[in-house]
């Protein structure tokens, strides 16, 4: 598909989270540029440098002659994680459709990007590339909990990248100011979502930090599912029953007139109750901190500058 007249007329943007491996990112950007040149009349690439250990700006400038589109670089002021960085990238994108690449690792045939796009224009606002098999146990556990307790009717999977329509971006923006986990919001946007499954052709290692992943998982479970509420409810009921039982026990002992020392029982009661209270407080504090963040944080991300590479 080299003839300009046969190319797609939709303007697409590719937002790429550079990660810590600048060399891999530059290779990936080159591949995306080549592929999109073949299939699209107009497109742009937006790279987000999340304060990486190996800054990518100079490497991009070196390669800039090879790019056939506008290439911009958003430099974050300090590391803010994949989600916030992607928020910044998508905000800067102008395309009708936006490819979101949260990683530059490739375990798929590059043509899958076009396949995902084609599925999108067949009537889906959000289409994800989903690897089949080889999912991490921790991810499987997270998604099973998430899908069980979330209100969304579209289940979550491990995704490698996705394409979203401008309509979907606008929709999630209007749903919340706190885009803590884009994937969930897209799935809950009420728009048509789909996925393209593929068999991974390579093994990739996740570069995101376990701390960031677990924080994201915890925040997502607290924000988008009823897990927190259900744990609180169960604990409250348990403690209520336990307290009631203790009360009845105390009354019975009093009525039977058989005083016991009661030291052990009392200690069990106190320690159990306090454990429950602390756990409940943890959950409540987490909810409160999320609320504070949502209501007080004006900007979703802090960036240093937006540079034009080409």
Partner 1 sequence: MSRNYDRIIIGAGLYGLYSAVESAKRGYSVLLLERENAPFSRATYINQARVHMGYHYPRSISTALKSRNYFERFVKDFEFCIADEFKKIYATSSKFSWTNRERFIKFCDDADIPCEEISPDAYFKKGMCDGAFITTEYAYDWLILRDFYSEKIKEYRNIDVKLNTAVCAIEKQADRYSIITSDGGEFESPFVISAVYASCNEILELAGYPAFKIKYELCEMIICEPSDNLKNLGITVMDGPFFSIMPFGKTGLHSLTSVTFTPHLTSYDVLPTFNCQKDSGGLCNKTSLYNCNICPGKPETAYPYMGKLARKYLRDKYDFRYKESLYSMKPIMSTSEVDDSRPTVIRKFSENPTFISVLSGKINTVYDLDEVLSE
Number of residues that bind partner 1 (CB under 8 A): 17
Is residue 94 involved in binding partner 1 (CB under 8 A)? yes
DSSP state of 123: T
| Among 4, 174, 205, 264, contact with partner 1 (rule: CB under 8 A) | 174
DSSP state of 305: E
**Which residue, 69 or 231, is less far from partner 1 as judged by CB?**
69
- For residues 244, 250, 253 and 259, what is the CA-based torsion angle, rounded to 10 degrees? 160
| Residue 289 CA neighbour count, 13 Å, CB half | 9
Residue 136, C-beta contacts closer than 8 angstroms, at least 6 positions apart: 158, 206
Residue 206 is encoded by which pair of tokens?
Answer: 């996740």
Q: Are 53 and 21 in contact (CB under 8 A)?
A: no
**Which residue, 20 or 173, is less far from partner 1 as judged by CB?**
173
Q: Are 130 and 198 in contact (CB under 8 A)?
A: yes
**Which residue, 86 or 156, is less far from partner 1 as judged by CB?**
86
Distance in angstroms (rounded) separating the CA atoms of residues 156 and 141: 12
| In the complex, least distance from residue 163 CB atom to partner 1, rounded to whole angstroms | 17
Is residue 121 involved in binding partner 1 (CB under 8 A)? no
Is residue 61 involved in binding partner 1 (CB under 8 A)? no
Is residue 53 involved in binding partner 1 (CB under 8 A)? no
Q: Are 95 and 166 in contact (CB under 8 A)?
A: yes
- 81-103 as b/e: b if 16+ CB within 10 A: bbbbbbbbbbbbbebbbbbbbbb
| In the complex, least distance from residue 90 CB atom to partner 1, rounded to whole angstroms | 10
| Among 77, 138, 170, 295, contact with partner 1 (rule: CB under 8 A) | 170
Q: Are 241 and 269 in contact (CB under 8 A)?
A: no
x/- mask, partner 1, residues 11-40, rule CB under 8 A, reads x-----------------------------
| In the complex, least distance from residue 173 CB atom to partner 1, rounded to whole angstroms | 6
Q: First CA to last CA across the chain, in angstroms?
A: 24
Is residue 80 involved in binding partner 1 (CB under 8 A)? no
Which range of residues in 92-100, 118-126, 137-145, 218-226 is near partner 1 by CB under 8 A?
92-100
Is residue 206 involved in binding partner 1 (CB under 8 A)? no
**Which residue, 70 or 208, is less far from partner 1 as judged by CB?**
70
Tell me which residues touch partner 1 (CB under 8 A).
Answer: 11, 41-42, 44, 65, 70, 72, 91-92, 94-95, 170, 173-174, 303, 306, 308
């Amino acid at each position: 598909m080299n003839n300009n007249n046969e190319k797609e007329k939709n303007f697409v943007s590719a937002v790429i989270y550079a990660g810590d491996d600048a060399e891999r990112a530059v290779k990936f950007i080159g591949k995306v540029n080549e592929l999109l040149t073949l299939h699209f009349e107009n497109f742009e690439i937006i790279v987000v440098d999340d304060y990486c250990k190996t800054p990518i700006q100079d490497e991009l400038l070196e390669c800039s002659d090879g790019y056939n589109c506008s290439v911009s670089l958003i430099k974050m002021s300090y590391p803010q994680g994949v989600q916030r960085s992607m928020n910044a990238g998508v905000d800067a994108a102008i395309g009708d459709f936006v490819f979101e690449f949260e990683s530059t690792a490739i375990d798929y045939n590059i043509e899958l990007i076009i396949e995902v796009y084609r599925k999108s224009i067949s009537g889906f606002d959000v289409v994800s590339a989903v690897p089949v098999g080889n999912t991490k146990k921790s991810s499987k556990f997270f998604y099973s909990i998430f899908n069980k307790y979330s209100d969304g009717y579209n289940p979550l999977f491990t995704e490698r990248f996705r394409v979203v329509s401008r309509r979907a971006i606008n929709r999630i923006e209007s749903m919340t100011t706190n885009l803590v986990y884009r994937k969930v919001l897209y799935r809950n946007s009420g728009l048509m979502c789909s996925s393209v499954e593929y068999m991974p052709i390579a093994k990739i290692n996740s570069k995101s930090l376990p701390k960031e992943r677990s924080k994201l998982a915890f925040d997502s479970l607290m924000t988008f599912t009823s897990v927190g509420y259900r744990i609180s409810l169960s604990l409250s009921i348990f403690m209520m029953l336990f307290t009631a039982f203790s009360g009845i026990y105390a009354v019975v002992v009093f009525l039977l007139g058989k005083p016991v020392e009661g030291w052990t029982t009392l200690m069990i009661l106190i320690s159990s109750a306090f454990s429950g209270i602390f756990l409940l407080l943890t959950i409540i504090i987490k909810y409160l901190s999320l609320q504070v963040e949502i209501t007080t944080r004006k900007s979703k991300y802090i960036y240093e500058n937006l540079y034009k590479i080409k």
